[in-house]
């Protein structure tokens, strides 16, 4: 994970000459890395992928692959495997012909291409369907064929554009593991585009969160979730409760933020100057119901507004700190819990779980 | 329960049928029935078995004799008797017209003979008739009567293929100087094939461009493609006549640009017909190809290029096969439409560019030889259906999409 394999240097892209779809993007992807570009639609992530694949040209800036700039290299000479949304399997060819396509355009003999294609299908456990048409396959099977086709010519880099978007939830999870294991086994570099945060978190070495043409944060999944760098990332990845406040003073590594319901001890991220407007983010699963009033840096009174039963956990909608949609997730670990609307209780959370981010705008 | 299901389903089936009924009726009454009528007409012989029943019956055994000599006295006698009856019943002109198709002099022969036929023969009827006109002493007229005597005939179909039966009823090609129909048929097929090819060459790139353009621009261009449909065929053809003539805008522009020294002859000849027909039929090629191309996701070409295929290879191996159903449908549509073309070649073509439809119109309207006109139509129908069958055998019916 140390040598730069793909780099974006000050890359800009605009379609209409007025708004930037991608603005001044810098990104370094290491050899063998699984990097996910995550973001809402229109955030520029797919445009980045298409520029890397060669279907779009950057308006300004430079993209390099393996140390060489690739702006002048046409897509078919880039040696990049692309897995498309909706798979783009050729309907007039059989499965094995599809997989052999990149080999046959590389002038491999028909027999060798067929042999290699079947081996690649074996890798995704589909050798028994080699002679079917793509339309006779289920969505998950088509996805695996598309994967085999992108892998079979041993490209240096594989791009995936929301490849699991069309699958149902269970299949999507199974495919996530399958892609991850293929990545581990083959050691190829993968750039993966998705708007699904759970996909990004489970599969990636690093995640680049896109919004409005910029990378908001580039870090490991764990860090992305535990220490989001700004309000957008905190809001986009996972659930969070938000409380507005003003930074009062720094206290060691932590800080004290004045909110409408009194001061909270938080971890300061971004602007550390007193008086800065802050948005405090607290994950619902880090909120505890306090029984004895001890061991938490922050303790607040709260009133239960609604109890939602989720099987493995309960969601409590609480009124606290002048908001009435504060969510707490309580694991359904012991059967003794009993909550009811109208009940008064106290909630607690620690400094490390209470992030004081810069307020947007 | 099953009965109530059937009742419920029946109402739905009837409603569905009711919606399609006008179309079905229309197709049946104005398409299938006339075609059947045409096919019947092409083998229907004419009125002789009704007007000269006895002669017709007697001529049948005579036709089997080999070699042919004059029929015997019984045939002459029956013929003379029935000829007089026919003249009295005013059915003779009808018969005379039919026989005139066999030989252009037979109408007057028949009419004159009937006028001068005596009540009783001077000697035998044979001598009497030969005395009236020596042609009655030749085998030819009797062979012609023999051919007109059955109810069904293959004579029109033979004539449509430039063949005839000689006096011994052997099938012979007709005199090359009078053969027109086979040449017209091959010319029709040739012109149709060239027009189809030209349309394809022009339409394919256009449809590709339309299918890859953004929706709004594509719609605008599509209007330009469809614009000719809003003008009458006659007007379009007449404008081509103006544009293509020796002193027309096209020749003047080319001369002004210095491309040509002498004006080109573009009307009343083959190039003119091809240009005008290609223009008129182009939308029928563009539309099916466009609609099929529109259904090809752009990702396919991207996938093919990303997998290592240069543009042309990707096009040939992925886009072209996927667009073939549209090409197939367009070619079939244009070819079948141009086979029946009539006005355009008539106005812009020369004498050597007339297609079968023009001949059919001539036979129907001028010579009133409906049998031959129907036979030409039948031959055209058979060729078209045969081509269609070969075509679907090659590409399969699911390999063709009209929209």
Q: Which of B297, B303, B321 sits opposite A92 (nearest CB)?
A: B321
Helix (H) or strand (E) holding B73: helix B73-88
**B190 and B133 share a domain?**
no
Q: Does residue B37 lie in a domain region?
A: no
CB–CB of B306 and A92 under 8 A? Answer: no
Closest residue by Cα to residue B287 from B344, B341, B334, B342: B334
Of all residues in chain A, the one with the smallest CA distance to B316 is A105
B310 chain-A contacts, CB cut-off 8 A: 74, 76, 105
* CATH class assigned to A4-233: alpha beta
> Nearest C-alpha of chain A: how many angstroms from B386?
27
A99 chain-B contacts, CB cut-off 8 A: none
* Residues B163-181: tens digit of each pLDDT: 988 888 888 898 888 888 9
**B69 and B200 share a domain?**
no
ipTM of the complex: 0.81
Residue B17's contacts (CB-CB under 8 Å, 6 or more residues apart) are none
**B370 and B258 share a domain?**
yes
CB–CB of A82 and B318 under 8 A? Answer: no
Q: Which of B300, B303, B309 sits opposite A82 (nearest CB)?
A: B303
Interface of chain B toward chain A, CB-CB under 8 angstroms: 297, 299-300, 302-311, 313-314, 317-318, 321-322
Q: Does residue B99 lie in a domain region?
A: yes
Q: Does residue B145 carry a pLDDT above 60? A: yes
Of all residues in chain A, the one with the smallest CA distance to B318 is A90
Position B15 scores a pLDDT of: 87
Backbone angles phi, psi at A124, to 5 degrees: -105, 20
Q: Does residue B165 lie in a domain region?
A: no
Position A1 scores a pLDDT of: 42
B304 chain-A contacts, CB cut-off 8 A: 90, 101, 105
Going by pLDDT thresholds of 50, 70 and 90, the confidence category of residue B189 is very high
CB–CB of A81 and B307 under 8 A? Answer: yes
With b for 16 or more beta-carbon neighbours within 10 A and e for fewer, the B269-287 pattern comes to: bbebbbbbbbbbbbbbbbb
pLDDT tens for the 361 residues of chain A, in order:
457 899 999 999 998 888 888 988 999 999 999 999 999 988 889 999 999 999 999 999 999 998 899 988 999 999 999 999 888 999 999 999 999 999 999 989 999 999 999 999 988 889 899 999 999 998 889 989 999 999 999 998 999 998 888 788 888 888 888 899 889 988 899 999 999 888 899 999 999 999 988 999 999 999 999 888 888 998 888 888 888 888 888 877 788 888 888 888 888 888 888 888 888 899 998 888 887 656 788 888 888 989 888 888 888 899 888 888 899 888 887 766 678 888 888 888 888 888 888 887 6
Q: Does residue B118 lie in a domain region?
A: yes
A86 chain-B contacts, CB cut-off 8 A: 297, 299
What does the alpha-carbon distance between residue A5 and residue A28 come to, in Å, rounded to a whole number? Answer: 7
Position B396 scores a pLDDT of: 66
Position A335 scores a pLDDT of: 62
Q: Which domain holds residue B88?
A: 48-151
- Token pair of B392 as six digits: 């679907």
Position B100 scores a pLDDT of: 87
Q: Which of A55, A91, A105 sits opposite B308 (nearest CB)?
A: A105
Q: Does residue B45 carry a pLDDT above 70? A: yes
Architecture of domain A240-358: Beta Barrel (2.40)
CB A86 within 8 A of CB A166: yes
Q: Does residue B190 carry a pLDDT above 90? A: yes
CB–CB of A55 and B302 under 8 A? Answer: yes
What does the alpha-carbon distance between residue A66 and residue A82 come to, in Å, rounded to a whole number? Answer: 17
Phi-psi category of residue A67: left, alpha or beta, with phi > 0 → left and psi -120 to 50 → alpha: left
Structural domains counted in chain B: 2
CATH number, domain of B262, equals 1.10.3720.10
CB–CB of B307 and A92 under 8 A? Answer: no
Q: For the beta carbon of residue B142, count every other beta carbon within 10 angstroms.
A: 24
Q: Does residue B33 lie in a domain region?
A: no
CB A35 within 8 A of CB A206: yes
CB B121 within 8 A of CB B73: no
**B379 and B326 share a domain?**
yes
For chain A, domain boundaries: 4-233, 240-358
* Residues B50-105: tens digit of each pLDDT: 999 999 999 988 888 877 888 988 999 999 999 999 999 999 998 998 888 888 88
Q: Does residue B173 lie in a domain region?
A: no
**B212 and B87 share a domain?**
no
B309 chain-A contacts, CB cut-off 8 A: 76, 101-102, 105
The reply to whether A240-358 shares the fold of A4-233 is: no
CB B191 within 8 A of CB B357: no
Q: Does residue B303 lie in a domain region?
A: yes
Say which residue the tokens 């008539």 belong to.
B346
Percentage of chain B beyond pLDDT 70 is 98
CB A298 within 8 A of CB A348: yes
């Amino acid at each position: 994970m140390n040598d730069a394999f793909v780099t974006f240097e000050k890359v800009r892209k605009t379609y209409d000459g007025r708004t930037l779809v991608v603005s001044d993007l810098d990104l370094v992807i290491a050899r063998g890395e699984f990097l996910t570009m995550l973001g809402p639609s229109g955030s520029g992530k797919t445009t980045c992928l298409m520029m890397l694949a060669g279907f779009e040209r950057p308006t300004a800036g430079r993209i390099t692959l393996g140390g060489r700039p690739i702006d002048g290299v046409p897509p078919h000479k880039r040696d990049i495997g692309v897995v498309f949304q909706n798979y783009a399997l050729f309907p007039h060819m059989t499965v094995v012909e599809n997989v052999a396509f990149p080999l046959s355009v590389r002038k491999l003999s028909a027999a060798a291409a067929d042999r290699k294609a079947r081996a690649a299908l074996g890798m995704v456990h589909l050798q028994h369907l080699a002679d079917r048409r793509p339309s006779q396959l289920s969505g998950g099977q088509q996805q695996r064929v598309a994967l085999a086709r992108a892998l079979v010519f041993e490209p240096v880099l594989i791009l995936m554009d929301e490849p699991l978007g069309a699958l149902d939830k269970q299949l999507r999870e199974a495919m996530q593991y399958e892609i991850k294991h293929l990545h581990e086994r083959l050691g190829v570099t993968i750039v993966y585009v998705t708007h699904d945060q759970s996909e990004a978190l489970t599969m990636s070495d690093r995640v680049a969160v896109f919004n409005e043409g910029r990378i908001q944060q580039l870090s490991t999944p764990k860090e992305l979730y535990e220490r989001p760098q700004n309000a957008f990332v905190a809001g986009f990845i996972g659930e969070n409760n938000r409380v507005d406040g003003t930074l009062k003073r720094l206290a060691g590594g932590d800080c004290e933020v004045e909110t409408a319901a009194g001061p909270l001890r938080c971890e300061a991220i971004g602007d550390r100057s007193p008086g800065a407007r802050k948005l405090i983010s607290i994950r619902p699963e880090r909120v505890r119901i306090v029984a004895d009033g001890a061991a938490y840096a922050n303790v607040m009174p709260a009133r239960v507004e609604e109890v939602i039963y989720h099987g493995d956990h309960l969601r409590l909608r609480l009124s606290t700190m002048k908001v009435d949609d504060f969510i707490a997730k309580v694991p359904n670990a012991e059967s003794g819990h009993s909550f009811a609307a109208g009940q008064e209780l106290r909630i607690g959370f620690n400094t490390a779980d209470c992030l004081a981010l810069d307020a947007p705008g | 329960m099953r009965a109530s299901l059937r009742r419920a389903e029946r109402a739905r089936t009837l409603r569905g049928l009711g919606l399609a009924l006008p179309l079905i009726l229309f197709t049946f009454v104005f398409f299938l029935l006339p075609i059947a009528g045409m096919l019947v007409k092409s083998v229907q012989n004419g009125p002789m078995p009704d007007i000269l029943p006895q002669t017709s019956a007697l001529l049948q055994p005579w036709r089997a004799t080999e070699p042919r000599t004059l029929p015997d006295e019984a045939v002459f006698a029956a013929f003379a008797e029935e000829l007089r009856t026919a003249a009295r019943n005013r059915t003779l002109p009808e018969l005379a017209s039919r026989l005139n198709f066999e030989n252009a002099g037979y109408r007057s022969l028949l009419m004159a003979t009937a006028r001068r036929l005596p009540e009783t023969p001077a000697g035998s009827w044979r001598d009497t008739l030969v005395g009236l006109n020596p042609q009655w002493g030749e085998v030819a007229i009797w062979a012609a009567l023999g051919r007109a005597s059955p109810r069904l005939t293959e004579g029109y179909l033979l004539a449509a293929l430039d063949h005839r039966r000689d006096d011994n009823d052997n099938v012979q090609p007709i005199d090359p100087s009078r053969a027109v129909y086979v040449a017209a048929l091959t010319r029709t097929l040739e012109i149709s094939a060239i027009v189809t090819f030209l349309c394809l060459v022009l339409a394919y790139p256009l449809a590709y461009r339309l299918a890859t353009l953004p929706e709004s621009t594509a719609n605008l261009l599509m209007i330009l493609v469809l614009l000719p449909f809003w003008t009458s065929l006659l007007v379009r053809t007449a404008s081509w006549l103006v544009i293509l003539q020796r002193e027309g805008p096209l020749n003047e522009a080319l001369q002004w640009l210095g491309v040509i020294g002498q004006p080109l002859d573009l009307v009343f000849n083959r190039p003119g017909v091809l240009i005008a027909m290609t223009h008129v039929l182009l939308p029928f090629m563009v539309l099916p190809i466009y609609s099929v191309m529109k259904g090809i996701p752009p990702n396919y070409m991207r996938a093919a290029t990303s997998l290592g295929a240069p543009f042309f290879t990707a096009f040939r191996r992925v886009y072209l096969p996927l667009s073939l159903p549209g090409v197939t449908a367009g070619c079939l549509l244009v070819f079948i439409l141009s086979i029946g073309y009539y006005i355009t070649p008539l106005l812009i073509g020369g004498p050597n560019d007339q297609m079968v439809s023009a001949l059919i119109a001539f036979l129907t309207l001028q010579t009133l030889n409906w049998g031959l006109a129907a036979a030409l139509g039948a031959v055209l129908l058979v060729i078209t259906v045969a081509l269609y069958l070969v075509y679907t055998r090659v590409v399969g019916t699911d390999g063709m999409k009209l929209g």
